[in-house]
Amino acid sequence: MNKTPVAFFAYNRPEHTFRALAALSSCRNFEECEFYLYADGPKTDNDRTAVEETRKVLRLWAKEHNAQIIEQPENLGLARSIASGVTELCKQYGRVVVVEDDLVVSPDFLHFMIRSLDRYEHEDKVMQVGGYTLSSPLGIKTDAFFLPVTTTWGWGTWQRSWEFFEWTPANLEAAKFDDDWSRLFDLNGTCSFYAMLEDRMAGRNDSWGILWWYAVSRQKGLVVYPVHSLVWNGGFDGSGIHCGSGDFLLQGDSSDYLENRLPNIWSFPDEICYKAEHLLHLETFFRSRLMGNQSDFDRADIKLSLIALAKRILKRLRNAIF
């Protein structure tokens, strides 16, 4: 049996890392995976202690589960760390599952990943398997569904899809004038992802996810998601570099993810396509987060800053996702 590689990325959060690895250890189909633990190097001398403590956690887990550790002597940053690891494992195995140190996965996460990677291996239109579902559309009769939108929080892909990832996106200027693509890329105006992409190209952010979103969207690719999220993101406690703080996505507590979230017998969609109402549901969710979080950002100053407030919330949401 060919095993599926799982790339786990950690930096300087030993407690988060321990929690994330404990969750992975409890997954179904654990024995069908090969684990690669990527430990980024310290950015500054102040990070060295936390980086070393994190590596101690990784080494103990690797010894127990026969995993491989890749310890970087220097700091690559999140984008280079993930992109290089995914590229390496895709070339070796033809597929990969990716988990970061601030994620807690449910016991059926790997089961969903492996089954989905197997099922859609030769379906070029399907370019990613997502584990984190932001908001479940209503009325879905199957246990998975498609969206034309990528994720960075617990996911899988194939070499055939990842080969479209580029550090310098092709045809960026032409894409700007493609109205249909532009509407999709910014989720019909709910998130300014194109501005984030421009910031990435100008070196103002370190997002690899926005480059991946561009690559998949230009190919009109699809992502298969579970109806109920199989991933909890613990990076909103202020410890991470990219997420900020607060449960503004209303994902609940990590304890909600200790049990299986898929039914014993579950099903995929009959057709490989997304439904417009499911994409609309996601856009509506983003808008609801915009309107529902004003109290998080100085409500007393609302007279002067409604527009600035909206921009801050959307930027926070956008940056957290990619």
Predicted confidence (pLDDT) per residue in 106-150, tens digit = 999 999 999 999 999 999 999 999 999 999 998 899 999 999 999
Question: Residue 213: is it exposed, middle or buried by C-beta count within 10 angstroms (0-12/13-18/19+)?
Answer: buried
User: Is the pLDDT reported for residue 30 higher than 80?
Assistant: yes
Closest of 210, 225, 261 to residue 104, by C-alpha: 261
Q: Supply the mean pLDDT for the chain.
A: 89
CB within 8 Å of 319: residues ≥ 6 apart: 196, 205, 207, 242, 243, 244
What pLDDT does 289 receive? 72
**CATH code of residue 109:** 3.90.550.10
pLDDT greater than 90 at residue 271: yes
Does the pLDDT of residue 250 top 90, yes or no? no
Angle at Cα 227 formed by Cα 296 and Cα 7, nearest 5°?
80
Q: Is residue 71 part of a domain?
A: yes
pLDDT-derived band at 238, boundaries 50, 70, 90 = low
Assigned domain for 318 exists: no
pLDDT > 50? residue 51: yes
Per DSSP, the three-state class of 310 is helix
> For residues 103 and 232, what is the distance between their CA atoms, to the nearest angstrom?
6
Query: Who has greater pLDDT, 170 or 8?
Result: 8
Name every residue whose Cβ is closer than 8 Å to that of residue 175 and which is 6 or more positions away in sequence.
169, 181, 182, 185, 214, 218
pLDDT greater at residue 246 or residue 41:
41
Confidence grade of residue 320 (pLDDT, cut at 50, 70, 90): low
**195 within some domain:** yes
pLDDT of amino acid 247: 57
Range of lowest pLDDT (219-228, 282-291, 293-302): 293-302
Residue for token pair 């709910």: 190
Residues 6+ apart with CB under 8 A from 84: 76
Per cent of the chain over pLDDT 70 is: 86
Number of domains in the chain: 1
Average pLDDT estimate for 80-104: 98
In a domain, 106, yes or no: yes
* DSSP conformation letters of 216-227: HHHTT-EEEEES
Question: Structural domain of residue 137, as residue ranges?
Answer: 4-313
Indicate whether this model's pTM tops 0.85. yes
Alpha carbon distance 14, 17 (integer Å): 5
Report residue 292's pLDDT band, with 50, 70 and 90 as the boundaries: low
What is the Cα–Cα distance from 94 to 136, expressed in whole angstroms?
30
**Domain annotation covers residue 319:** no
pLDDT given for residue 318 in this prediction: 61
Q: Is residue 36 part of a domain?
A: yes
Q: Is residue 117 part of a domain?
A: yes
Counting Cβ atoms within 10 Å, is residue 300 exposed (0-12), middle (13-18) or buried (19+)? Answer: exposed
Q: Mean of the pLDDT values across residues 164-185?
A: 94
Task: With respect to residue 115, please indicate whether it lies within any of the assigned structural domains.
Answer: yes
Identify the band that residue 296 occupies on the pLDDT scale cut at 50, 70 and 90: very low
Structure tokens at 317: 């949401």
